[in-house]
Amino acid sequence: MLTQRLRSMSLLPHALRGSQRVITFAVRKPLIATVEQQQPLLRSFSNDYFISTKTHNKNKIIYASFQCKRLFATVPSNNSSSTFRTMAFYKFHDLKKDDLPIFRQQLLDDLGKWGIVGRIYISTEGINAQLSCPEKHIDQLRRYCQETLKPTVGELMDLNLGTEPEAGERAFRALHVRIRKQLVADGLDPASYDLKNRPSHLSPARWHEKLSNYKQKHGKDPILIDMRNHYESEIGYFEGAIRPNVDTFRGSIDAMNEICKNIPKDQEIFMYCTGGIRCTKAGAILQSASGFETVHLVEGGITAYGRWVRDREQKQDNYKKQPASLFRGKNFTFDKRLGEDITDEVLGKCHICGQPSSRYQNCAHASCNLLMLCCSNCASQFLNTCGRMDCYDTVHDFKQKTTDHHYFKPDGPIMIDGVRAFVKQGEHGEERVVVGKTGVKCEHQYHRRVRAVEVLGEPGNILKEWVKAGRELPPVANATATSSSSSS
């Protein structure tokens, strides 16, 4: 019925034609009597589409508007088989602005057919991709990069696979290709630097060796700059790195210029980031705009270094002759995982209880969204919220009203008393399930520039708020989970 209705409005053929294209449209029609009756219809339709609905009850007729996005029928969302690998690649390469829409469509069509999900940015600067690819299609993707993409963007680096040794769940829900002004926004006049002035790309092994021997060779510590944001370097970093307290790449560039201000231009500068793209740009800026002779970066960033450390440990088995990883802790990633472990060290602190934790989460209340460190114990106790009573109560009350604990159904959103669970897209395209009230505009839609400490105070403070309000803390979710350590 819904399908027919959409077809009769000539919306569906359009939707089907643009195979993997994200389409959104709204239908505002008297539909059927109740929301309950509506659900099965949506479900039948949502095998292929993710649909979010808004209903308006006016004069006892339910009006519904739909927003729908094509998902991949080949990757049913209830398929929990762990067969995906997360990876990235990027390339700075001059592309023509007019060619971008066609390129975008080509990527959606070509990668969509293998069930690849993730986020790709294209711009006149080139391409930057973060993907989850079914393991069985990785060779095809590799060939695709070498054969099909090469004529458009030039020679690509090899796929920068995540450091997890095994295939896992996909880290993204759908495939998005977005056209952007820049691959990495720097706030500079593009004429002021030259991206073709490429910094030195060291293999992880060379990077490790050069950094390890620097002091012995030069009698001083190397200038090593972490080109990431504060929340990234809070949970993991290279030993001895300068970690600027910044929120954006622009901030990193300013910090880099400040650090390098009084350094002789012939001194080597080392820098690193998650996968290498930010340093490729920052290094080019430092070389072309500031005149530094040699900027080194680790090819493939922390991710590639982490993979190298892991492979080397496996090869060496028990007799370790070489020093361990120069990187400590966790590599923050912009996907569902929010990070990958490089070493076992836990460098962060849970913002609710103050115990060691490098686990990031965004508050599950849609209109809060605060990014914070939260240990898994507090996460389950406070239902993935930031721990403030408002956020906790909204999510808690909503979950109480649902019959089972699966309060989010992938095949259609559930709404109870105006509160619903839905998929929310983050600043970088990452998607997650949140709970919120419809129609309630976010007072403070927190993004990564808002620091948890500004909202929650110091770690542990929020627990005092509960005491002050005379409230008992939420029950600890599962007694069986208390024995093991809490901290990852």
Active site positions, annotated:
273
Q: Which range of residues in 114-122, 290-298, 299-307, 388-396 is near Zn ion by CB under 5 A?
A: 388-396
All residues at 6 or more sequence positions from 294 whose CB lies less than 8 Å from its CB, including other chains: 199, 200, 266, 268, 269, 287
Judged by beta carbon, residue 120 or residue 375, the one nearer Zn ion is 375
CA atoms within 13 A on the CB side of 32: 12
Give the C-alpha distances (Å, rounded to integers) separating 323 from 111, 289, 317, 444: 40, 36, 14, 46
Nearer to Zn ion, 51 or 386 (CB): 386
Which residue's CB is nearer to Zn ion, number 12 or number 350? Answer: 350
What's the Cα-to-Cα distance from 202 to each of 184, 210, 264, 369, rounded to whole Å? Answer: 21, 9, 22, 38
Give the nearest distance from C-beta 326 to Zn ion in angstroms: 29
Binding Zn ion (rule: CB under 5 A), the pick from 386, 395, 435, 462 is: 386
Q: Which strands sit side by side in the sheet containing 340-341, from one edge to the other?
A: 236-238, 327-331, 340-341
Which residue's CB is nearer to Zn ion, number 129 or number 363?
363
Q: Which is nearer to Zn ion, 110 or 465 (CB)?
A: 465
Measured distance CA(142)–CA(149) in Å, rounded:
10
By C-beta, is 289 or 455 nearer to Zn ion?
Answer: 455
Report the C-alpha dihedral over residues 403, 409, 415, 419, rounded to 10 degrees. Answer: 90
CA angle 469/474/476 to nearest 5° reads 150
Q: State which of positions 61-90 bind Zn ion (CB under 5 A).
A: none
Q: Report, in Å, the least distance between residue 359 CB and Zn ion.
A: 9
Q: How near is the Cβ of 467 to Zn ion at its closest, in Å?
A: 16
* β-bridge pairing 269-272 and 236-238: unpaired
CB of 329 to Zn ion, least distance (A): 17
Nearer to Zn ion, 15 or 350 (CB): 350
- Closest-CA residue to 269 (of 206, 337, 221): 221
Measure Cα distances from 291 to 32, 54, 184 in Å.
68, 56, 21
The site for Zn ion, by CB under 5 A, has a size of 11
User: Which is closer to Zn ion, CB of 233 or CB of 384?
Assistant: 384
452 binds Zn ion (CB under 5 A): no
Q: How far is the CB of 282 from Zn ion (least distance, A)?
A: 33
CB of 345 to Zn ion, least distance (A): 18
| Contact characters 205-224, Zn ion, x per CB under 5 A | --------------------
Q: What does the per-residue mask of binding to Zn ion show for 345-384, with x meaning CB under 5 A?
A: -----x-xx---------x-x--x------x--x------
Q: How far is the CB of 37 from Zn ion (least distance, A)?
A: 34
- Residue 230: CB minimum distance to Zn ion, A: 20
List interacting residues with Zn ion (CB under 5 A).
350, 352-353, 363, 365, 368, 375, 378, 385-386, 391
